[in-house]
Amino acid sequence: MNLPRPDQYGQAIHHKAPPLVTATYDNGHQSRQAVAFDDTLSFSFITQRYVDILEQSSPSPIEVMPVPPGISDKTRCPNGTFIAIERVLYATVELESSHFQFQAPRVCFVVYHDGLGIEDGIQMTLGHNWATKIAQAYA
């Protein structure tokens, strides 16, 4: 199978409208959302605002989990701030693209507060961990 390198996924779509993904959460709820790619981020991120929207629209609770005690890591968020990772949300993320066909990986999203607002509508950012999962699936 001739797949593009993971670092090409974001580049291939930067000059077009933000790509859409279908995310399926552990409770079975699905959402469709535009995403951003940022391979310089170690993790994938989801805004607390979007988690609130998901919780309101889901018929059953969205499973946002606290990070276990003793595992405190700091990371840079899409808005440039550094935070301690406190809560995560898992989802299977399927990219809606005719250019890239691959199995949807289960992604761990770090939940963060986006103090800058969401004017661009992007509330999910796929980071390096997403590209790594895609590469591992086809290695």
Domains located in the chain, CATH noted: 6-137 (2.40.70.10)
- Two structure tokens written together for 107: 């992604």
- Helix or strand run (H / E) with residue 126: strand 124-126
> Which residue is it, tokens 């661009």?
120
For 103-129, what is each residue's pLDDT tens digit?
678 899 999 987 655 555 678 999 887
- pTM score of the predicted model: 0.79
Bridge partner list, 35:
124
3-class SS of residue 130: helix
For 12-41, what is each residue's pLDDT tens digit?
444 456 788 899 999 999 999 888 888 889
Instruction: Give the span between the Cα atoms of 36 and 119, in whole angstroms.
Output: 13
Read out DSSP for 12-54? HHTTSSPPEEEEEETTS-EEEEEEEE-TTSSSEEEEHHHHHHH
